[in-house]
Amino acid sequence: MIVVFILSLQPIVHAQSTDEQLAAHYYREGEFGKALLYYEKLYEESGSDQIYEYFLNSLLAGENYKDAQKLAERHATAHPQAYRYKVDIGRVMLRADEPSKAEKHFDRIIKDLDKASVNQILDVGRAFSEMSENKRALETYYVGRKHMGDSYPFNFQIAQLLGEESDVEGMISEYLDVLKLSNGYIKSVQNTLNRVIGFEEDNKCNDVLQNELLKRIQKSPDEEIYAEMLIWTFMKQNKFDAALAQVIALDKRNKEDGERVMELSDLAFNNFKYRVAIEGYSYVKAKGPRSYYYIESITGLLRSYKVRVTDSRYDQESIHELVSEYTSALDELGYSASTSKLINDLAYIKAFYESKYRNEAVVDAAQLLVDALAKPGLTDIDEANLKIQLADIYVLSSDIWDASLLYGQVEKKFKYDEIGHQAKLKNALVFYYAGDFRWSQAQLNVLKGSTSKLISNDAVELSAFITENVGIDSNLEALSAFAKMELMVVQHKFDSSLISLDSIEAKFPGHELGDNILLKRADIYCEQGEYDLAAETYMKIPEDYSFGILVDNAIMSAAKIYELQLQDTQKAMALYEIILTDHSGSLFVIEARKRFRKLRGDKA
């Protein structure tokens, strides 16, 4: 019997489906008269809300206002709890050019809202908004607020409407009022403001938001949430100095341990705001050894000093001061497993920077690491980092096979981890320097699948470089000469490297190595402090090899020189913008965007 009943329904269901398809077709084509024939029948059969909407719109499109009002009244009566259908009656009156009747009808709806639920009020407000009756929608929500009180004050709905009405002050005030209900809404408020304001430069909403927050902080200094919002606002506007001032003020007022200051200092460091980072770390360090973040603040401070010095026009004096800072910190904290990261950094500075002015610094750096590796309590990862740094120094000292042994130890212990892949890449480079291209390329091909995009990309680039430059007749002479020259660069034999580059160009004119020779020559000039010449040489690559794979590398390197060493903001911004617009697939896009925004919007 059940099967027979279901089968008997199939023709009805099929007919209804066909009618809906035909009605929808005519509706889409704007043939509302034909659509009405089907929608009237469908509504009589189902009375569904969806069919009602199409039926009503078809009647209004055909200016059949009398039948449209009857339909709206009928549907509203059939659904007394759905207040939006009462709004439809007024909508028909407006379309019929009966504004006074419509206004009286809307007044009655809003007056009756004191008996409505939250969902019914939201329903009416949305119905008015869909009609572009924003003032009526606002009136609805204000009445709803009066009725519901703090249990549901409709802040988000009112704020959105005020924004549409260009009332920026009112909109922002409503969003901030949400925080009066609960601090837990801070993420929702921030996400909404981020979407509606955007925080673009020269956006007047930025100043309105900032001024409103300052007023609230002055009026209610104990309401910490507004200070947190102000800090967030400053961060969105790239005003790290102002954000740090607020964070430090909060830390002092609440007698905190510096956690907020550390978080902001870390963020400043990651956004290349080294002066702000140094100020923040210094504040926390001044709390003294009893502070929970004392050692962490010293580490952050030294890290900031290191990058600020090495990314600028450093000289012997600045490097000496940097070494002294690290040495003083280690003398205070002790040379132990817990300070292995500082020891590692100091060894790096000594080997790759101080050694330019004092040859013995390389030996001192290696001894620092050997002693550190003998300290008890080292974690496996700290030991691996120390070994990689020591191996790098062995390469610098021409002990490439001792370096290979250390790289191999790390690779074996961390076979599936990023640090193991890093060691494997460095070991492949050792064999590349030594001219064993086949073995080197075999290791590089394994690394193409590394989870680290940077390591994978470096492996792909070097492997492709070897393939391209082996030559059709497997002649390795040019590639071997270039690899030996690259080892000289790593070993800071810059004059010899330049001579070697000249020799390669003379011996192999028109070779595939042309853009690589330019890039390496520019790298050497940069290492020698010849920044103008370096930038000029980098920019020859996009000029002479516009379709080469090194173009984005060269432009990014030149941009950083103009920003950090030559202090030419406009040129740096122009080059970063080229990376963003013409090389959107480059690995440098994220860093270029950060640096571009810093140069364009830094109000510090």
pLDDT tens for 283-313 read: 999 999 999 999 999 999 999 999 999 887 7
Expressed in angstroms, the distance from the first to the final Cα of the chain is 81
- Convert the pLDDT of each residue in 307-322 to its tens digit: 999 887 788 999 999 9
Locate 551 and state its tokens.
């173009």
Look at residue 413 in the predicted model and tell me its pLDDT: 95
Least confident among 4-8, 105-109, 347-351, 445-449: 4-8
In 3-state terms, what secondary structure has residue 292? Answer: coil
Locate 575 and state its tokens.
């080059």
- Convert the pLDDT of each residue in 483-497 to its tens digit: 999 999 988 889 999
Buried-state track 109-142, b at ≥16 Cβ within 10 A, e below 16: bbeebeebeeebbbbbbebbbebebbebbbbbbe
196, 163 in Cβ contact below 8 A? yes
Q: What burial class does residue 216 get, using C-beta atoms within 10 Å of its C-beta: 0-12 exposed, 13-18 middle, 19+ buried?
A: buried
pLDDT of 190 strictly over 70: yes
More confident residue, 13 or 184: 184
pLDDT of 473 strictly over 60: no
Look at residue 12 in the predicted model and tell me its pLDDT: 44
Question: Rounded to whole angstroms, what are the CA distances from 436 to 121, 324, 442, 473?
Answer: 77, 41, 10, 17
Look at residue 549 in the predicted model and tell me its pLDDT: 86
Question: Rounded to whole angstroms, what are the CA distances from 431 to 349, 405, 438, 459?
Answer: 25, 12, 9, 13
Least confident among 49-58, 462-471, 543-552: 462-471
pLDDT band at 201 (very low <50, low <70, confident <90, very high): low
168, 204 in Cβ contact below 8 A? yes
Contacts of 28 (CB under 8 A, 6+ apart): none
DSSP 562: I
Buried-state track 483-508, b at ≥16 Cβ within 10 A, e below 16: bbbbbbbbbbbbeebbebbeebbeeb
Contacts 24+ apart (CB under 8 A), 137-144: 137/161, 138/162, 139/110, 140/110, 140/113, 143/110, 143/113, 143/114, 144/113, 144/116, 144/118
pLDDT of 199 strictly over 90: no
Q: What burial class does residue 389 get, using C-beta atoms within 10 Å of its C-beta: 0-12 exposed, 13-18 middle, 19+ buried?
A: buried
Q: What is the mean pLDDT of residues 565-570?
A: 91
More confident residue, 599 or 532: 532
Q: How many C-beta atoms lie closer than 10 Å to residue 315's C-beta?
A: 12
pLDDT of 2 strictly over 50: no
Q: Which CATH class name applies to 477-601?
A: mainly alpha
Q: How far apart are CA 343 and CA 333, in angstroms?
A: 11
Average pLDDT, the chain: 90
Look at residue 16 in the predicted model and tell me its pLDDT: 54
Look at residue 258 in the predicted model and tell me its pLDDT: 95
Q: Number of C-alpha atoms within 13 angstroms, CB side, residue 162?
A: 17
- Convert the pLDDT of each residue in 362-405 to its tens digit: 999 999 999 999 999 999 999 999 999 999 999 999 899 999 99
DSSP 63: T
pLDDT band at 602 (very low <50, low <70, confident <90, very high): very low
Q: What is the mean pLDDT of residues 199-208?
A: 78
Look at residue 601 in the predicted model and tell me its pLDDT: 65
More confident residue, 78 or 472: 78
Task: Give percent of the chain above pLDDT 90.
Answer: 72
Look at residue 574 in the predicted model and tell me its pLDDT: 95
Look at residue 202 in the predicted model and tell me its pLDDT: 65
- Convert the pLDDT of each residue in 224-249 to its tens digit: 999 999 999 998 888 899 999 999 99
Q: What is the mean pLDDT of residues 86-115?
A: 93
Look at residue 312 in the predicted model and tell me its pLDDT: 79
Question: Rounded to whole angstroms, what are the CA distances from 361 to 237, 348, 368?
Answer: 43, 10, 10
pLDDT of 4 strictly over 50: no
466, 486 in Cβ contact below 8 A? no
Look at residue 604 in the predicted model and tell me its pLDDT: 40
Q: How far apart are CA 538 and CA 520, in angstroms?
A: 9
Q: One-letter amino acid identity for 77?
A: T
377, 337 in Cβ contact below 8 A? yes
Q: How far apart are CA 130 and CA 519, in angstroms?
A: 60
Q: What is the mean pLDDT of residues 162-178?
A: 92
- Convert the pLDDT of each residue in 113-157 to its tens digit: 988 999 999 999 999 999 999 999 999 999 999 999 889 999 999
Buried-state track 190-211, b at ≥16 Cβ within 10 A, e below 16: bebbeeebebeeeeebbebbbe
Buried-state track 281-303, b at ≥16 Cβ within 10 A, e below 16: bbbbbebeeeeebbbbbbbbbbb
More confident residue, 3 or 117: 117
Q: How many C-beta atoms lie closer than 10 Å to residue 212's C-beta?
A: 20
523, 489 in Cβ contact below 8 A? yes
Look at residue 474 in the predicted model and tell me its pLDDT: 60
The alpha carbon dihedral of 315, 317, 318, 322 has a sign of: positive
pTM for the whole structure: 0.71
Look at residue 318 in the predicted model and tell me its pLDDT: 94
